[in-house]
Structure formats: structure tokens, C-alpha cells
Structure 1
Amino acid sequence: MVLRTARLVLDLPVEGDVVRVAEYCTDPLFEQFLTTPWPYTETHARGFLTEHVPSAWQTGSELTWAIRTESGGPLLGVISLRADGREVGFWLGAEHRGSAYTAEALAAVCEWAFAELPRTETVTWRANAGNVASAMVARAGGFRNTTTAATTVPGRDGTDLEGWSAERGRIPAANALESWAPLLGGAA
């Protein structure tokens, strides 16, 4: 399932992406904000790309796309949609951040989900509390902040951590942008 935007090609992450995935996933931000194994190795990347991604596509439990600027081009990051709760997750390699690639990929995945997945009325997003960059992508993607004091995300060790959450309907809510003020203030 290939998705295309004005600047991106979203396609299947493949074994040839192992080195890039391993490199990107050693970023200290991943330790702080993601549930990827830590420290992250090429063995983890190979398992993700050759076992988890194909198996999850086959069962439909999680659909993961590589973010690239051209078909067959270098991996910039990944974005996935989990079937349960229609929840999105994403990351981008450090040198590609600030490009708005993730927001563009997020819009494409949401549009695809609303058009192609039956009974999809909302797409959700969650992140560790404090993950401002991820929240800014969700905000740019038209998501409305739904964080409450009870919002949690799973930690690497299986415990619940304080989290942030948001959702987006087929048409972004009129108050979506303003809803982020409690978390992001006036962050650009």
C-alpha cells in the first residue's frame, strides 16, 4: 500500500532500511519518548523490519510505512497506524526534523484511514508527556488535544507513564488549534 503526497512516498519499510533504522533509533530522544528497545541495535532493526512489519501488515494489526522523498529512496522515518483505536505513531531521523515531512505523512495516513478502513470515524494520537515535537506534528495534522490527568502511555518496561493524547475526525475540529494551548502555549 503506497501513499504519495506532494513531497513524499510512503511505502513498505524493508530489510535494506536496517542501518538507517538502527542509526535513527539510537537518538537519545528515542530513549526518553519512545518504547523502542534501549539501547537499540541493528538486531532490533532487523527484527522490526523483517518480522514485525510484515506480520502486522498481514494481520492488519499495525500498518507501518517508510517515509521517503522518492520511491526506493533513503528512509527518513516511519509512521504507523494501529488497528485498535486507529492510533498513529511516528518518528523521523534527526537530520530530517523541521521539514514538516511528518505532518505531511500524518495527513496522508489519516486521509487513507478515513477512506479505506471501515468504521473509522476518528484517528487518535498519544505520546509521553513532554514530547513537544510529536505534539506539534499532531497539532499541525489537525488533531484536537484530548489530554486529561488520567492520560497514560505504555512505558518500555510495561508500566504506565504520564501521557498526552489527541484525536482527529474526518474534518478537523474548529477548535483543534486552540485546544493545544494548555500543553504547548504559543509554541510555533
Structure 2
Amino acid sequence: MRPVTLQTSRLVLDLPVSGDAERVARYCKDPLFERFLTTPWPYTDAHARGFLDEYVPSAWQSGAELTWALRAAPGGSLMGVISLRAKGREVGYWLGAEHRGSAYMAEALDAVCTWAFDGFPGTETITWRANAGNTASAMVARASGFCNTTTAETTVPARDGADLPGWSGERGRLPVADARVSWRPLLGEVTDEGGAA
């Protein structure tokens, strides 16, 4: 599959490239990544180069995982990464610390989901999973119209291959009227404006 560029009102989502290695390495050394993501830890410059030069292009080519860089403009600095895996049509994402709190990732996630239903054959439902307790990731999924589907059996893989307690969500092509309400067990009450009560 050939890489696809997506655009939103504030973002360009394009192919992460080798020139992004410094930012990928710096962002992935954030202690939150050790706790909530399966990226290697400790994260090194070599990990960033392998991800950008080998994994991303080969996964696009095979269609196994489609990965985009978030940028404020074409050719701009990398702000974060979002991917869509063919298996389970599962999304994953992270954002550099200085870019958090501006709803960039929810905007990017909505763009990827909208594209996937028409541009990635066989997509009927998109899934999301995160380590239990990753409220920032859950808030992005909620803002992008995912329904909470977490059960006591929901797990996510750990770095060592073991299973950890997880949270999960699901989104179809059309929004579900009570999707936001489904997040109450994890995120509490939500006001009409979308913030926590």
C-alpha cells in the first residue's frame, strides 16, 4: 500500500521519515512511555532510526500497519505519531509532551478513522486499547466517538509479551448517540461541553 497524506484544519498527517529521528527519540524517552506504551525502554536513537527507516515503510508496503506523523504544516516538525494496524483495525498513538492539551490527537484520530472506512478495504469497525489507567488516551478515544467496551477480561500486551490489564473502545462509521456516556466507569461524568463534571 502506498502512504496516504491526510489533512485536518490544523494538521498534516504524512509519512514519518528519517529526518524525524531526533524528535521520535526525544519524545519516546518520556517516562509516561515506559508506563503506558510498548515502545522499547530505555528508548535509544537506534530505536528511532529502525522505526523510521525500516519498520514504517515496510509496514505501509505490506499494509500491516499504517503510520502517520502529525505536523502543523507540510514539512513541519513531527509532533506525534498515529497508526492503524490491519489486524483488528486497531489504532495506537502518542504525542510529544509539549503538544498535549490542544486536542491535536483527537483531531488526528478522527481523520484517520474517517479515511479508514473508505480508504482501507475491509474496515467496518475501528478498535482502541490502552493500559488500564491511561486516561489521556481514553479521553482522546472518547472525544473521537469511540464507545467504551472495556470488560474485566480486557488486556494489552506488555513489552515482555505478558498481558496487562487494559481498557478498550470501538468506533463504527456512524456515531453512536450515547458513546460519551459509555466512558463514565473509566472517566467519570461528562458535561454537555465535553469536559469532566
State the TM-score, normalizing by the size of structure 1: 0.99
Is residue 185 from structure 1 mapped to residue 188 from structure 2 by the alignment?
yes
Give a deviation string over 1:111-169, Cα, whole Å, max 9, x none.
Answer: 00001122211100000000000000000000000000000000011000000000000
| Aligned partner of 1:70 among 73, 79, 87 | 73
For 1:8-47, what aligned pairs fall within 5 Å after superposition?
A: 8-47=11-50
Residues in 2 aligned to 1:112 and 1:78: alpha-carbon distance in whole angstroms: 16
> Partner residue of 2:134?
131
Q: CA RMSD in A?
A: 0.7
Amino acid at match of 1:175: D
Give a deviation string over 1:7-56, Cα, whole Å, max 9, x none.
Answer: 00000000000000000000000000000000001100000000000010
Q: Secondary structure at the match of 1:158?
A: coil
> Partner residue of 2:61?
58
Q: CA deviation at 1:173?
A: 1.1
Find runs of 4+ consecutive structure 1 residues off by over 2 angstroms.
Answer: none
Residues in 1 aligned to 2:153 and 2:58: alpha-carbon distance in whole angstroms: 32
| Aligned partner of 2:160 among 157, 160, 166 | 157
CA contact (8 A) 1:144 1:172 kept: no
Residues in 2 aligned to 1:47 and 1:177: alpha-carbon distance in whole angstroms: 38
Unaligned stretches of 5+ residues in structure 2: 190-194
| Aligned partner of 1:90 among 82, 90, 93 | 93
Residues in 1 aligned to 2:119 and 2:51: alpha-carbon distance in whole angstroms: 25
Unaligned stretches of 5+ residues in structure 1: none
Residues in 2 aligned to 1:102 and 1:70: alpha-carbon distance in whole angstroms: 15
Residues in 2 aligned to 1:81 and 1:10: alpha-carbon distance in whole angstroms: 13
Amino acid at match of 2:50: G
Q: CA deviation at 1:5?
A: 0.3
Residues in 2 aligned to 1:157 and 1:137: alpha-carbon distance in whole angstroms: 26
Q: Secondary structure at the match of 1:37?
A: coil
Residues in 1 aligned to 2:119 and 2:15: alpha-carbon distance in whole angstroms: 17
